């Protein structure tokens, strides 16, 4: 459809972030991109067709020039983004425009952001662990290569720090392409992450895309689809393995709720949109592996008011193979990363998937921590001295394990002064096996706080005082 033959309508109503456009002929389809005849263009995505000759759309990039009577052109296609090797090392917005002060990418192939997921018959499942170098994750909630994992937690418990540490640990050693998608996050975090990845030397194999907190709900709702379109090109056309990091999936759900409210839909449970399940599935189901390559995803998920029964959290749980739950109680005790080992889950932690030794040690660690949790009430009422000798041994081992599963991060070196540590899985297993065997019965539990492996116990000046 050329500019001369494209249907042109006029805005007849504006309300919040919604524009209603009247067309005399050829009404546009749902999800079509409309642009105003202004410079710069204002993008409107068609969201509903409420009546004859009327299209109702989401204003994606607000401008003071937006007004009733403004002419709007139908582009005949949805929002699209550039794809190709040239996007590596660059930072984009939802429309595929570069926002990193580099040269524009005008001549690249472009693809629509709304695409159907890969059919089930073409998908592939890989039973291989994606090692992160973070002890608590690799031991108790191992991530699956080619699957989706979520980091769940309320505000201020360390989701963004944990995902930043994973970027540091995994992107540098990753044999494919990494794509970071920021949905509804702060501009400061985007700038810091871009700078840190450049300093770490991993930017040339990374694509970054942001729909920031100050942008319209339409942008925050679509930026995840834009990012996955770029990721799918690397997987399907270039046959590369792709690591997709998303911060934060709850902001996608929240943007969908805002869009639903703007369109006048009746809210569902807890005020969320009635289409929450299908909208989240349309995004999540595009993340999968095929014979061409794997697509692995790690997603931060904000949990409102620490309520894990919130619909946003429960719907997200259903799409994941591993759920890493962050605990405010652990964070208040200074146990970072504040991962709750008893609530976190991974379908990889089964005898047929991980090694028998890994499964045995992980079960023993989890069992010890669970017994300690049950004994806490007795200790609070009667004191540690009233426990049997066996229970006192359990408490000692559990406290040592709790502190051993803390870890200094590379991403927090500047704030804590502690040098970050990457701990291979085998070293984590060896260390936990020695603690469970009672080899350190004479060591104070504080000695295990913020160390890498057991070998660091005797390294002078490595570990700070325990919290």
The burial class, CB within 10 Å (0-12 / 13-18 / 19+), for 38 is middle
Task: Give the per-residue pLDDT at 411.
Answer: 83
Q: Kindly tell me if the per-residue pLDDT of 5 is higher than 80.
A: no
- Chain mean pLDDT for the chain: 91
Tell me what the mean pLDDT of segment 388-396 comes to. 92
Tell me what the mean pLDDT of segment 100-107 comes to. 88
Q: Kindly tell me if the per-residue pLDDT of 169 is higher than 90.
A: no
Q: Kindly tell me if the per-residue pLDDT of 41 is higher than 90.
A: yes
Q: How confident is the model at residue 3 (pLDDT cuts 50, 70, 90)?
A: low
- Separation of alpha carbons 19 and 4, rounded Å: 23
Task: Give the per-residue pLDDT at 463.
Answer: 45
Buried/exposed code over 45-65 (b: 16+ C-beta within 10 A; e: otherwise): bbbbeeeeebbbbbbbbeeee
Tell me what the mean pLDDT of segment 167-181 comes to. 84
| Tens digit of each residue's pLDDT (9 = 90 or more) over 244-290 | 999 889 999 999 999 999 999 999 988 899 999 999 999 999 999 99
In the chain, the percentage of residues whose pLDDT exceeds 70 is 97
Task: Give the per-residue pLDDT at 461.
Answer: 46
Task: Give the per-residue pLDDT at 466.
Answer: 44
Q: How confident is the model at residue 331 (pLDDT cuts 50, 70, 90)?
A: very high
| Tens digit of each residue's pLDDT (9 = 90 or more) over 114-125 | 999 999 999 998
Task: Confirm if 36 and 72 have CB atoms less than 8 A apart.
Answer: yes
Task: Confirm if 134 and 326 have CB atoms less than 8 A apart.
Answer: no
Q: How confident is the model at residue 191 (pLDDT cuts 50, 70, 90)?
A: confident
The burial class, CB within 10 Å (0-12 / 13-18 / 19+), for 371 is middle
As a dihedral over the C-alpha atoms of residue 232, residue 234, residue 238, residue 241, rounded to 10 degrees, the angle is -100
| Tens digit of each residue's pLDDT (9 = 90 or more) over 205-225 | 899 999 999 999 999 999 999
Phi-psi region of 40 (alpha: psi -120 to 50; beta: other; left: phi over 0): beta
Q: Kindly tell me if the per-residue pLDDT of 166 is higher than 80.
A: yes
Tell me what the mean pLDDT of segment 352-357 comes to. 92
In the chain, the percentage of residues whose pLDDT exceeds 90 is 70
Task: Give the per-residue pLDDT at 459.
Answer: 59
Q: Kindly tell me if the per-residue pLDDT of 4 is higher than 80.
A: no
Task: Give the per-residue pLDDT at 193.
Answer: 83
| Tens digit of each residue's pLDDT (9 = 90 or more) over 13-31 | 999 889 999 999 889 999 9
Q: What is the set of active-site residues?
A: 159, 185-186
Q: Kindly tell me if the per-residue pLDDT of 465 is higher than 70.
A: no
Tell me what the mean pLDDT of segment 32-46 comes to. 94
345-346: strand order across its sheet: 91-92, 206-211, 177-183, 242-247, 295-302, 148-153, 322-325, 345-346
- Separation of alpha carbons 444 and 438, rounded Å: 13
Q: Kindly tell me if the per-residue pLDDT of 467 is higher than 70.
A: no
Q: Kindly tell me if the per-residue pLDDT of 305 is higher than 70.
A: yes
């Amino acid at each position: 459809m050329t500019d001369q033959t494209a249907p042109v309508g006029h805005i007849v109503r504006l309300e919040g972030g919604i524009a209603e456009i009247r067309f005399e002929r050829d009404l546009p389809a749902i999800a079509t991109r409309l642009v105003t005849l202004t410079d710069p263009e204002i993008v409107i995505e068609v969201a509903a067709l409420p009546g004859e000759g009327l299209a109702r759309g989401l204003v994606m990039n607000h401008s003071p020039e937006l007004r009733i009577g403004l002419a709007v052109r139908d582009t005949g296609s949805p929002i699209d983004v550039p794809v190709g090797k040239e996007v590596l090392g660059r930072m984009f917005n939802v429309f595929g425009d570069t926002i990193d002060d580099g040269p524009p990418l005008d001549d690249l192939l472009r693809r629509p952001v709304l695409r159907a997921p890969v059919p089930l018959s073409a998908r592939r499942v890989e039973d291989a662990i994606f090692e992160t170098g973070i002890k608590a994750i690799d031991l108790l909630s191992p991530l699956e290569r080619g699957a989706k994992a979520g980091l769940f937690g309320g505000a201020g418990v360390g989701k963004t720090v944990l995902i930043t540490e994973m970027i540091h640990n995994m992107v540098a050693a990753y044999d494919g392409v990494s794509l970071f998608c920021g949905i509804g996050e702060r501009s400061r975090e985007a700038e810091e992450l871009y700078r840190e990845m450049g300093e770490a030397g991993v930017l040339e194999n990374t694509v970054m895309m942001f729909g920031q907190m100050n942008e319209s709900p339409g942008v925050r709702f679509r930026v995840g689809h834009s990012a996955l379109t770029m990721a799918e090109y690397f997987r399907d056309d270039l046959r590369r393995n792709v690591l997709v990091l998303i911060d934060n999936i709850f902001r996608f759900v929240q943007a969908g709720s805002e869009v639903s409210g703007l369109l006048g839909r009746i809210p569902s449970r807890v005020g969320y949109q009635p289409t929450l399940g299908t909208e989240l599935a349309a995004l999540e189901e595009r993340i999968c592996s095929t014979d061409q390559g794997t697509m692995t995803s790690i997603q931060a998920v904000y949990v409102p008011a620490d309520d894990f029964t919130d619909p946003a959290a429960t719907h997200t749980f259903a799409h994941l193979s591993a759920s890493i739950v962050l605990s405010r109680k652990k964070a208040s005790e200074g146990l970072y990363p504040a991962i709750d080992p008893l609530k976190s889950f991974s379908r990889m932690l089964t005898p047929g998937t991980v090694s028998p030794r890994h499964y045995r040690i992980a079960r023993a660690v989890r069992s010890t921590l669970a017994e300690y949790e049950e004994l806490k009430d007795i200790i609070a009422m009667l004191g540690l001295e009233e426990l049997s000798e066996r229970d006192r041994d359990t408490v000692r081992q559990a406290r040592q394990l709790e502190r051993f599963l803390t870890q200094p991060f590379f991403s927090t070196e500047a704030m804590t002064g502690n040098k970050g540590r990457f701990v291979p899985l085998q070293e984590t297993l060896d260390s936990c096996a020695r603690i469970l065997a009672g080899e350190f019965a004479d060591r104070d539990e504080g000695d295990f706080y913020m160390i890498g492996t057991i070998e660091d116990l005797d390294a002078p000046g490595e570990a700070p005082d325990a919290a």
